[in-house]
Amino acid sequence: MRKKLLIGVAAVAALLLAVAVLFGDKLLLRVMQGQVESMLSGASFEPYTEGLNVVLCGSGSPMPDPARAGPCVAVIAGQRVVIVDVGSGSVRNLAKAGIPVGRVEDVFLTHFHSDHIDGLGELMMQRWAAGGHSAPLPIHGPEGVESVVSGFNTAYTHDFGYRVAHHGATTVRPSGAGGTAMPFAVPAPGEGRVVLDTDGLRVTAFVVDHAPVTPAVGYRFDYRGRSVVISGDTVKSDNVAQFAKGVDLLVHEALAIQLVDVITAGAHQVAAAGMEKITVDIHDYHTTPVQAAEIAQAAGVRHLLYYHLVPALPVRRLEKLFVEGVDAVYKGPYTVGRDGTWIQLPEGSSEVLVRRRG
């Protein structure tokens, strides 16, 4: 009996292998086409259209991490998609997460460090080509954003012309190329500045401390009773705690000093003086995971999501070491972010659902 069973299993396996050989390429191409249809029809986006949703399109930092793109957060309120910061590699994660780039309506920059802006050119181009937009991408940020946007527009001027010449002005409308700077004055500590209020979504900017990098801000998003705060890069800040008071989700940067110190020791051992100094310098303008947890506890945050993770965490075990001590100070749930981490905040509920896309 056992021998017959093994023969039967082997026969089924051989049949499946034969089907795969005969039809594998056709099936693969059909799956590929289905993915294109899902993205272009909006089916892939449908799960995001209820409540307030947050997706990490980039959870990393300037330190190269094979598992994480540069800092980028997609906030989806109903049908409206906005992006906070656009780190290297993050734009390609939008498609993986089922978010068509053509749907992006606004970008908000927290500050002008290169790792937060170096994906802007790709985002502007992909949004224009994929979305058929007739107006440039609005890019909000503190005063100084004008020169950033102008620089990207200048760098892409030739490419804008090539696209129009190749695809035609009906497909890629010249008026929709590039970005438009939307500067705002940085509010004083304790004060917020509403920088967008439309379709039920209110975005409030507040100052943070990332000295010597100035200006630097965080953002609060409110939509139909649900709320999110994104810290941007900052040391532990009472201002972040103030604006995060009672929010459903705090998305906070974090640097684990004990792990960075391992890099410092390695650099010292091989006399890499430049890297040694940089890894020491970065201690003083970021927040540790425990400090971010203290903010979340003091503010009564429902869920804490870590992003802009320093250093790189290519191995899961390192994520556990990253949050050493957090349980002692924060009594709520928390998540170490990865690219594709999706937090769903359903309307009319207090639920915080942790999911993954991409």
Which residues are marked as active site?
A: 115
How many CB atoms neighbour CB 54 within 10 A?
27
CA distance 306 to 335: 6
Strands (E), the chain: 52-58, 72-77, 80-84, 104-108, 137-142, 179-184, 193-198, 201-207, 217-223, 226-230, 249-255, 303-310, 334-336, 341-345, 353-356
Which pair of tokens denotes residue 332?
């709520």
Give the integer Cα–Cα distance in Å for 44 and 35: 8
Is the Cβ–Cβ distance between 50 and 346 less than 8 Å?
A: yes
| Residue 150 neighbours by CB under 8 Å, 6+ apart | 181
Q: Taking the CB of residue 203, how many other CB atoms lie within 10 A of it?
A: 23
Cα 150 to Cα 178: distance, rounded to the nearest angstrom: 9
Q: Are 357 and 340 in contact (CB under 8 A)?
A: yes
Distance CA 279, CA 274 (A): 9
